[in-house]
């Protein structure tokens, strides 16, 4: 089946258009959630694709419109490096967005760094439990209003990497892995934590992602991203190149 025939897939001209559509989508969802429940819980993704989205949210069109003070921000995954390291997803998000917007520091929930990835994952889960108000997933509605995800050319998403045991973790919200095809240990939300979402939004940009995107959408479960579920909806904002349109 063509990528574009799958439900939930929206195709935009290029990465800039994907980022703009995502900024509008997140703003609408945030305003709706805050009107209904007073808060919006968003898990950010890392890597290169969402950087432009973060810059747009911090820019003149959204800086004063996005309801920063009522948003709780989390990280869907993090490379296990210091937060000021250039490889850190937190570092990227700070430079692109967080340092520029009026979000209270207490609303930005950063995965800890230290000597021990397992201990850091457990501590980050404790932080999620504290903000959510229960240690039982779905007990108080979805854990996240939106989980933002990307897609690696090896089929990983968040830091759910192929051939790692984190793919089998069902008894934790946050865990860690050592990929065999990427540097650094990683902290990541697990499948059950991502499933506890009102919406998962994948952003996929570039011709290099076309083949793996087709496999994931066709349900090839050897690709970690194909095993993502959501108790709400799963949406894909992709550009023409990722859709396989070479024009």
Smallest gap from residue 106 Cβ to ligand LXAUTJHC (A): 23
- What are φ and ψ of residue 189, in 5° steps? -65, 145
48 lines the binding site for ligand LXAUTJHC (CB under 6 A): yes
Near ligand LXAUTJHC by CB under 6 A: residue from 22, 45, 187, 210: 45
Residue carrying the six token digits 């065999």: 180
152 lines the binding site for ligand LXAUTJHC (CB under 6 A): yes
**Residue span binding ligand LXAUTJHC (CB under 6 A) among the ranges 60-68, 118-126, 149-157, 226-234:** 149-157
Near ligand LXAUTJHC by CB under 6 A: residue from 89, 125, 190, 230: 89
Would you say 35 or 84 has its CB closer to ligand LXAUTJHC?
84
Smallest gap from residue 46 Cβ to ligand LXAUTJHC (A): 3
**Residue span binding ligand LXAUTJHC (CB under 6 A) among the ranges 44-52, 107-115, 132-140, 170-178:** 44-52
197 lines the binding site for ligand LXAUTJHC (CB under 6 A): no
Smallest gap from residue 139 Cβ to ligand LXAUTJHC (A): 27
Would you say 22 or 70 has its CB closer to ligand LXAUTJHC?
22
Interface residues with ligand LXAUTJHC (CB under 6 A) are 45-49, 77, 89, 149-150, 152, 157-159
């Amino acid at each position: 089946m063509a990528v574009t025939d799958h439900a939930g897939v929206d195709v935009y001209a290029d990465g800039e258009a994907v980022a703009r559509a995502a900024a509008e989508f997140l703003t609408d969802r945030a305003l709706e959630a805050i009107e209904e429940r007073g808060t919006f819980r968003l898990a950010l993704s890392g890597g290169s694709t969402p950087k432009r989205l973060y810059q747009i949210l911090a820019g003149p069109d959204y800086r004063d419109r996005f309801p920063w003070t009522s948003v709780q921000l989390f990280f869907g995954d993090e490379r296990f490096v210091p937060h000021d390291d250039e490889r850190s997803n937190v570092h990227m998000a700070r430079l692109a967005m967080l340092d520029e917007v009026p979000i209270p520091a207490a609303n930005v929930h950063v995965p800890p760094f230290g000597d021990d990835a397992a201990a850091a994952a457990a501590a980050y889960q404790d932080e999620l439990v504290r903000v959510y108000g229960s240690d039982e997933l779905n007990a108080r509605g979805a854990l996240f209003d939106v989980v933002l995800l990307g897609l690696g050319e090896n089929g990983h998403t968040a830091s759910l990497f192929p051939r790692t045991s984190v793919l089998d973790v069902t008894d934790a919200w946050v865990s860690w892995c050592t990929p065999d095809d990427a540097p650094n240990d990683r902290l990541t939300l697990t499948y059950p934590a991502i499933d506890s979402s009102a919406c998962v939004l994948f952003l996929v940009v570039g011709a290099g992602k076309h083949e793996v995107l087709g496999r994931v959408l066709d349900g090839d479960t050897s690709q970690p991203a194909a095993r993502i579920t959501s108790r709400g909806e799963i949406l894909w904002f992709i550009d023409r190149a990722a859709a396989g349109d070479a024009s």
